[in-house]
Structure 1
Amino acid sequence: MTSADSGVPRLVIAAPSSGSGKTTVATGLMAALTGRGLAVSPHKVGPDYIDPGYHALATGRTGRNLDAYLCGPELVGPLFLHGARGCDIAVVEGVMGLYDGAAGEGELASTAQVAKLLRAPVVLVVDASSQSRSVAALVHGFVSWDPEVRIGGVILNKVASDRHEVLLREAVDCVGVPVLGVLRRAARVDVPSRHLGLVPVAERGSDAVDAVAAMGAQVAAGCDLEALVGLARAAGPLPGGSAPWTPGPVPTLPHARMRSRGGTPIPSRSVEKSTPRVAVAGGAAFTFSYAEHTELLAAAGAEVVAFDPLRDEELPEGTAGLVIGGGFPEVYASELSANEGLRKSVAELALSGAPVAAECAGLLYLCRELDGLPMCGVLDASARMSGRLTLGYRDAVAVSDSALAAAGTRLRGHEFHRTVVEPGAGAAPAWGMRAPQRRVEGFVERGVHASYLHTHWAAEPGVARRFVERCRTS
């Protein structure tokens, strides 16, 4: 497959509802196909950061998101092709139920919309644990709801016995949809969860490796892989002759070398003013990031260097800008607080006026304290865990000029947290939200832009270019 080829074989793994087993089946299928020697491109519908980590473990490639709300429907195909460069097949894991999308926005951001944009056949994963013949009515309803969504097969999950399997197969046969797999209950494939979903790969180490291997073995044993590959190959070309998305040309630098972090090539050379070094937080506490952000920073001329706030005692030498994404700082608050050297290094960089972009977990880390434990103290605000989940897509406008955006810039984002920051906004707020309620949120101070809002920079590449330019001139 060439980079411009839009006929990459592809499948969308969907379900009637959350909790049906999409992640287990999608990750297991990725692992099983990779085990057969195929280069598998992993994708996830929606703003989820955790599932792509398991996808990457299964395939050895960067897990990528396809979000029609954050990036717009027009970028779904190009971003898909960008991730699928050089691959034999692509597997796309859906989000929630097949037809569930952004609240009040019809099909926008639903798995069904993404499947239609990609012209990809859908495999429906059905939790059959509490039904037999009724499964036929459920499958029939999903098949007939939207004729533009092609459901090419069903995988029956959590099947109790051989007799249960016979009853289920007889029922689905009446609908005329092939059963492409039958999976029994298996505790070894379960992934532990906590307050924001599954526990990320970075926190589980060898346990995550074992779980993904078990998922692959289960899918390989219980599913018709040849039929699934055949269905994927029947997808045909994407509409409109879509071309792969590109972050822009990576500068050709004297004495440049390419390093790879998580499958993403990053240019590196000795630090110069024209090539500012941007430090990006990683490790177990900061696992939420989109691969395209790093690629956009590199394409804008930055040298991107990863660091781990749990282990590194100071920022990388020569850091000119800092990006701290989302994750679980509340789980690691004690360790983050104990790393006084790095907290001081971050505070000094921020006080110098250098550009700092912090999203959600990054916002908490920059606060004075988190659950009573000292953090970086860059912002005169405190953070604490809350019993209330804040979740949903947001339409936002930049309220203040910052290192990320000029005032008036409109972006779409996503909130997902169980913490509260007090106050919720500084004297110069980062964003004004229009829905679900009008409010201002976040902080713009010196070069710092800190907010709960997760954004996808592919929707507005000028964000990365502006940030890197500020790193050059600050």
Structure 2
Amino acid sequence: MITAQPRLVVSAPASGHGKTAIAVGLLAAMAARGIPTAGFKVGPDHTDAAYLGLASGRPGRNLDPRLVGAQRIAPLFGHGASGAQLSVIEGAMGLFDSLTGQPEVDGTAAVAAALRAPVALVVDVAAMGHSLAALVHGFRMFDEMVHLGGVILNRVASPRHEQMLRSALDDIGMPVLGALRRGDLPNVLPSRTHGLVPVAHRSVEAARAVRRLGEAVARSLDLDRLMALANSAPSLPGPLWTPAEAAGDPAETRPLVALAGGPGAPYTYVETAELLTAAGAEVVVVDPLRDESLPPGTRALVVGSGLPEGYAEELSANRRLCADVARFARDGWPVVAEGVALPWLGRELDGRPMCGVLDITGSTGEQTVAGYREATAPGTSVLAPAGARITGYKQHRAVVTPRAGAAPAWTWSGGNPEGFVWRQVHASQLGLHWAAAPEIAKRLVAAAIAGPAKPSGPAGQMPGPQMPTPQVSGPVPQLAGPAPQLAGPAPQLAGPAPQLGGPGQPMPMSGPRPRPVQDSISGPLPGGPAPSGPPSDPAPTTGPVPGMFPPEGPGGMSPPPGPAFGMPPADAAGPGMSPGHGPLPQRPGGAMPNGGPIHGTPDTGPDARPPSDVPISS
């Protein structure tokens, strides 16, 4: 059960007010006082979560209702905050903003209401006077489910300016939690083009930036008052999320799964490593930018969407690892690739040679493609059964040609199929949060135990995955039970679930293990016509493909009826109910919990999907 947990949401009226620097600095300042802390980021942003984790000394985590479901936010928070005396949740965009246009579902205010956490509002007051009081009063009154506990003034011009602002806020009874002058908050965080790589590599630049932000916050903010506000958060009832319970009984055999990342952070959500470990895997980190080979004994590889695209040159230069990954994938071992890992598995990206597993080329476009996708698996793969549905997030500039292979990884309404499924490779630019579907970890561990998928069919033909791809009809398959059996004997799922180390501890490493590796790489590449050599996989058909749904419009696929992949059963909670929490109060005029007349009522139909191709601001 989640008990009293001091917590605080740091938000702002909009992006650009300084909330990331202040949230990171607050965690660093409290940690310097010896207070155990935990950092969380609202939304899918890997980078901010990594710096929050660096400041707190334990993994930073994401709270994204769109990716994991609103009912999992409080349990995931309780899991990540265990043992901390202060948890800081950094919002995304403005307090009442939402990328999808549904702030009552996935906005910062919705997360604050779900966690019953007070909010500290960071406001850039460089060009503001008494109007600050009107702004803050509007934010306080807009949503009665959100408790605005105080304001942090950023970029104050002078002592006289600060006194005027404090007087204006005193007139409306709003506490001031601290004030930073112009230049007090140093612009020291590494460029966002580096993503979380400086944290993953534990660079001196990243550590220095966090330390300097902590010193600035400690000088200018009232830490005791902030701590008192965090302590005012009420007890949060309900069960904790635990990897062992989510993943089910672990396998007796412990296959080694390589997870892309660095010693400071993985290139994926932290729960991925925890779920793999709970499912019975021995997780070891491999750095695609530095390591020249996969760890000895590796039986599966996972490359998450947190790896930035700006490191294409470094990925290409690591030729030894590229060759090792190519052998590994062609030998038939499981590979899950997201984000830039898709073009990394191709022939080249911007003219630079890559791994050559897939017959695709990539080029960096001028615009960023970003947004959530309600994705459907058209066929069975190592990651999901045919017809399974899940919400993912993509943010990339690389354009891959062709976009999909004969067996695509995903389809979604209103868009063309994307990605590639070949043997036990599942590659696309869509990033998933495995806490939404813990069955993924169980399937991957079972595939790692079963061993390589063997080629089948006529000589010289490169097969798809060695699992059946049935026609889909009726309800969507659920992954609540045991994972479908892969090639080879089924693993025995018994025994206690091994756990990762406690907060802040590194993932377990492994010693050398023998791994069968073929001496040569041969055969055509899936994905498209090869420029030379044997023919590649057949081009996608125009009619329905076995295991896929009939097209809906140009290149579109209709999602199947039935519940979504990884989501709770329909009777888990009725309207206005939160699992384990009882009824939630409604906003005035709201037709649903935490919804109001301004926010509106979201479309929850089978084809409902948020706007796409819009980048998220931090």
Structure 1 portions without partners, runs of 5+ = 254-266
Q: What residue is the counterpart of 2:127 in the other structure?
A: 130
Give the AA of the match of 1:95.
A
2:137 is the counterpart of 1:158: no
2:60 is the counterpart of 1:63: yes
Write out aligned runs for 1:223-234 (5 A): 223-234=221-232
Task: Output the CA distance in 2 between the equivalents of 1:194 and 1:26.
Answer: 16
Q: Please state how far the C-alpha of 1:285 moved relative to its aligned partner.
A: 13
| Aligned 8 A contact 2:6 2:230 in 1 | yes
Out of 174, 184, 207, the position equivalent to 2:205 is 207
Change (3 A) 1:292 1:194: closer
Q: What residue is the counterpart of 1:427 in the other structure?
A: 406
Task: Output the CA distance in 2 between the equivalents of 1:232 and 1:12.
Answer: 9
2:173 is the counterpart of 1:176: yes
**Rg (Cα) greater in structure:** 2
2:220 is the counterpart of 1:222: yes
Q: Please state how far the C-alpha of 1:427 moved relative to its aligned partner.
A: 1.0
| Aligned 8 A contact 1:286 1:361 in 2 | no
Task: Output the CA distance in 1 between the equivalents of 2:138 and 2:245.
Answer: 47
Out of 242, 248, 263, the position equivalent to 1:246 is 242
Over residues 245-269 of structure 1, what are the superposed CA-to-partner deviations in whole Å (9 max), with x where a residue is unaligned?
A: 0111699x9xxxxxxxxxxxxx9xx
Task: Output the CA distance in 1 between the equivalents of 2:60 and 2:227.
Answer: 20
Question: Larger deviation: 17-26 or 332-341?
Answer: 332-341
Change (3 A) 1:12 1:106: closer
More helix by share: 1
2:46 is the counterpart of 1:49: yes
Out of 10, 14, 19, the position equivalent to 1:17 is 14
Give the AA of the match of 1:92.
I
Over residues 167-204 of structure 1, what are the superposed CA-to-partner deviations in whole Å (9 max), with x where a residue is unaligned?
A: 21122222221000101233634324355878753468
Write out aligned runs for 1:268-283 (5 A): 274-283=253-262
Give the AA of the match of 2:133.
A
Write out aligned runs for 1:326-337 (5 A): 326-328=305-307, 330-337=309-316
Q: Please state how far the C-alpha of 1:209 moved relative to its aligned partner.
A: 1.2
2:74 is the counterpart of 1:112: no
Task: Output the CA distance in 2 between the equivalents of 1:285 and 1:9.
Answer: 26
Task: Output the CA distance in 2 between the equivalents of 1:331 and 1:74.
Answer: 35
Q: Please state how far the C-alpha of 1:59 moved relative to its aligned partner.
A: 1.2
Could you tell me the percent identity over the aligned residues? 52
Give the AA of the match of 2:422.
E
Task: Output the CA distance in 1 between the equivalents of 2:25 and 2:124.
Answer: 16
Task: Output the CA distance in 2 between the equivalents of 1:108 and 1:465.
Answer: 29
Task: Output the CA distance in 1 between the equivalents of 2:158 and 2:398.
Answer: 43
2:344 is the counterpart of 1:344: no
Q: Please state how far the C-alpha of 1:340 moved relative to its aligned partner.
A: 1.7
Over residues 351-389 of structure 1, what are the superposed CA-to-partner deviations in whole Å (9 max), with x where a residue is unaligned?
A: 111110001021121111111011001111111211111
| Aligned 8 A contact 2:263 2:285 in 1 | no
Q: What residue is the counterpart of 2:189 in the other structure?
A: 191
Task: Output the CA distance in 2 between the equivalents of 1:375 and 1:237.
Answer: 51
3-state SS of paired residue (1:391): strand
Task: Output the CA distance in 2 between the equivalents of 1:207 and 1:184.
Answer: 24
3-state SS of paired residue (2:121): strand
Out of 431, 442, 448, the position equivalent to 1:454 is 431
Out of 364, 373, 382, the position equivalent to 1:394 is 373
Q: Please state how far the C-alpha of 1:329 moved relative to its aligned partner.
A: 5.4
Q: Please state how far the C-alpha of 1:439 moved relative to its aligned partner.
A: 2.5
2:296 is the counterpart of 1:314: no
Task: Output the CA distance in 1 between the equivalents of 2:124 and 2:370.
Answer: 25
Change (3 A) 1:335 1:106: closer
Structure 2 portions without partners, runs of 5+ = 452-618
Give the AA of the match of 1:412.
T
Give the AA of the match of 1:463.
I
Q: What residue is the counterpart of 1:257 in the other structure?
A: none
Give the AA of the match of 2:277.
A
Give the AA of the match of 1:427.
A
Write out aligned runs for 1:85-100 (5 A): 85-100=82-97
Q: Please state how far the C-alpha of 1:273 moved relative to its aligned partner.
A: 8.7
3-state SS of paired residue (1:123): strand
Change (3 A) 1:86 1:464: same
Task: Output the CA distance in 1 between the equivalents of 2:234 and 2:349.
Answer: 51
Give the AA of the match of 1:419.
A
Task: Output the CA distance in 1 between the equivalents of 2:171 and 2:162.
Answer: 15
Q: What residue is the counterpart of 1:237 in the other structure?
A: 235
Over residues 293-340 of structure 1, what are the superposed CA-to-partner deviations in whole Å (9 max), with x where a residue is unaligned?
A: 000001111111111122222111111100011245543323322222
More strand by share: 1
2:24 is the counterpart of 1:27: yes
Give the AA of the match of 1:211.
A
2:411 is the counterpart of 1:416: no
How many residues in Structure 1 have an aligned counterpart in Structure 2? Answer: 449
3-state SS of paired residue (1:19): coil
| Aligned 8 A contact 1:50 1:288 in 2 | no
Task: Output the CA distance in 2 between the equivalents of 1:140 and 1:288.
Answer: 40
Over residues 67-123 of structure 1, what are the superposed CA-to-partner deviations in whole Å (9 max), with x where a residue is unaligned?
A: 111011110000000001111111111111001124132421111000000000000
Q: Please state how far the C-alpha of 1:402 moved relative to its aligned partner.
A: 0.8
Q: Please state how far the C-alpha of 1:400 moved relative to its aligned partner.
A: 1.8
TM-score by length of 1: 0.90
